[in-house]
Every structure is written in structure tokens, then in C-alpha cells.
Amino acid sequence: MRPNIAEQVDGTFILIVGISALLLLMITVLMIYFVIKYNRKRNAKASNITGNTTLEVIWTIVPTVIVVVMFFSGYVGFKNMRDVPEDAMVVKVTGRMWVWSYEYANGLKSDTLFVPLSKPIKMEISSLDVNHSFYLPAFRVKEDAIPGRINYLWFQPTELGTYEIACAEYCGLRHSYMYSKLVVMPDDEFYEWYNLTSDSLMNETKPVEQETVSDTLKTQTSTNDSSKK
């Protein structure tokens, strides 16, 4: 089973913060110790302190090991982020000022991202105008949307629910309004919606309002280009 990206990102973050906190504590304690030990009253006449080979070796090796550990933790997570599962469902996402739109392999288009629970999702990301950044905070993944270029990311839904999608790169006056929704659905409900025929798509401007879709989805806005006749 593939590692969970969010857990890997959180683990690396906690590792770095933990090491930083320990270093801060150690340096603070040592600083206070030296201030007390080598204060003017106790050392009226300054003395020359020569080098210490053992200490120099320690403070060279230990920071090197710490940096390598942090790098390895980050690299393992990054490698997983870039290695898309072969069975991933591909969804194209296009950013433009100031909305996200999604297109599925069967031509269905929506302004809300609907995905099945049990399937890894690959997002192919592009932009029609300026630079944007497609960001799924709950899944700890983010990738820039660049005009004339297709980037990608992937994630694995783990729980049913509705999640925020944001633009994480300033893209103009209404950048702060560039939000969308990710809805993770039970597999049967998703594929019932996904497999709608072209004729039914032509007659539906908001496919999430069909009776076969769950009540949660009825609150979401969904559109497709084929409804504009």
C-alpha cells in the first residue's frame, strides 16, 4: 500500500520542528550557562581558550547527520508525490482569473471536483491566463498552474466529505476569492454521476441536483459546457 502523502508531509514537518526546538533549547541553556560561568566577577582577567578537537569533530558530524536525516525524510515524501499510481483517475484542472474548472476523461466538465473514495486521483494542471497554484490543504499537495504548460499532482482520498481547494499564488485582485470544492463520494454514487450519457448532460446544467446523487452533493454547484446550447 502506498504511503499517505499527508502523513509523510506532517511527519517531516514535525521532525524538523522537533529538531529545531531541541536545538533552540540546547543553545539557550548553554548560553545562560556560559553567561553565568564566564561573567566578569568570576573572570576579572580574561583567559585564552585553545581549540578542542573532540568538540570540533562533534559539532561537524552531528549537524551533518541532522541535515541528512531531514533531507531523507523530505525526499522520501517528495518521491511519493511525484510517483503517480498507474491506476489513477486523470482529471484536468484549468485555472483562470479567478476560478477553477475540471474536465473528466468522458468530457464531463464541472466547477466542483467530484472524486470516488477508493481511487487515486491525478490532476493535470494548466492555466489560461496568469500563474496560479492548485492547492489541496487537507491532502498537503500543491502545484503551480502555468500558462502553456501542464503540471501534475496526485492524491488518494481517504474519507468521505467536502474539502477546500484554493489558489496559493497571488493572481490578481480577486485572488483571495479563488476557491473551489473537492467532494469525495462513495464509489457507486460517483460512477452513477460520472457515467451519465451525453444526452442527459445536454439537458442538465447542474448534474449534482439529480435524485441519484447524495444530499451532500445537492449543495454543490456543477456546470458543464455542453449545457450551453
> What CATH number is given for 5-82 in this structure?
1.10.287.90
CA nearest 191: which of 213, 211, 162?
213
Mean pLDDT score of the chain: 85
Strand partners, 135: 142, 166
| CA distances from residue 100 to 39, 190, 218 in whole angstroms, order as listed | 62, 20, 19
As its CATH architecture, domain 89-227 has Sandwich (2.60)
CA atoms within 13 A on the CB side of 47: 8
Distance, in Å, from the CA atom of 160 to the CA atom of 142, rounded to the nearest integer, reads 21
| pLDDT score recorded for residue 195 | 84
pLDDT surpassing 80 at residue 36: yes
Region 111-122: what's the mean pLDDT?
94
In the chain, residues under CATH classification 1.10.287.90 are 5-82
In the chain, residues under CATH classification 2.60.40.420 are 89-227
- For the record, the C-alpha cell of 58 comes out as 562533534
- Under the banding of pLDDT at 50, 70 and 90, the label for residue 205 is very low
| pLDDT score recorded for residue 129 | 92
